[in-house]
Amino acid sequence: MLAPLIAATLLAATPTPLEVVKAGNADVQKAANAPGATVEQLATVVEKFVDFEELAKRALGKEWDKRSPAERKDFADTMKGLLRASYAQKALGQANAEVKYGKETVTGDEALVNTTLMVKKDQLPVDYKLYKTSGKGGSWRIFDVVTDEVSLVETYAGQFRKLITDKGFDGLLSTLKTKRAQLEKAAATTKASQVPGQESQTGGSGQKAPAEKK
């Protein structure tokens, strides 16, 4: 009887997708509103619940399988750096936004959490897609954000396909590294007071970062 009870306790202790999104929003809100908050500091917080490597892998699609282990690592590291800085910068811009939570839908090892972002008088639907990590005690991680029916993964996927067609994979990687360097340089000195409502200049996805409802 003891083993089943322990298993049931561990299962119950695993945060649900909705709880993951809410907790992530709360952490972002707290970090974004801290005195002297920087993009880099916020990026570290965001990375706890958003899996940027998984997002990058899904955006690259079938091209991922064609790449060598070294190429995959280089691509994943580059996109991870670009995405964490971009996402965190947007989170700073939405530091005082309000979020209304909708329903949670779980299908196997993937889930969807519906929310509505309240920015002044505007209401913007923002949905979070999550997947459950493998292994015992797997946790839910965000891998895509869909803002007003525009998916971050699909947006990047479209950009990747075009760049690969025009410049090849090496050209895509070079372009991403340049964008990452530009964004991280700007983010290094950016504080919350400097970016009220500002959108990132990288990616062009128009995605919004999460913010906790007060």
Q: Is residue 134 part of a domain?
A: no
pLDDT, averaged across the chain: 81
CATH, residue 56: 1.10.10.640
* pTM value > 0.75: yes
Q: Report the range of poorest mean pLDDT among 1-5, 164-168, 192-196.
A: 192-196
Starting from the edge strand earliest in sequence, which strands make up the sheet with 110-119, in order?
98-107, 110-119, 122-132, 140-147, 150-151
Q: pLDDT digits over 50-63, tens only?
A: 999 999 999 999 99
* Between residues 65 and 120, the one the model is more confident about: 65
Q: Is residue 47 part of a domain?
A: yes
Instruction: Give the residues across from 104 on adjacent strands.
Output: 113
Q: Is residue 12 part of a domain?
A: yes
- Pairwise CA distance, residues 17 & 158, whole Å: 27
In DSSP notation, 160-204 reads: HHHHHHHHHHHHHHHHHHHHHHHHHHHHTT-BGGG-TTPPPSSS-
Q: pLDDT digits over 26-82, tens only?
A: 898 888 888 887 878 888 888 889 999 999 999 999 999 999 999 999 999 999 888
Q: Is residue 188 part of a domain?
A: yes
Reported confidence tier of residue 187, pLDDT bands at 50, 70, 90: low
Q: Is residue 107 part of a domain?
A: no
Q: Is residue 199 part of a domain?
A: no
Total domains in the fold of the chain: 1
User: Does position 10 have pLDDT exceeding 80, yes or no?
Assistant: no
Domain housing 88 = 2-94+153-194
Q: Is residue 208 part of a domain?
A: no
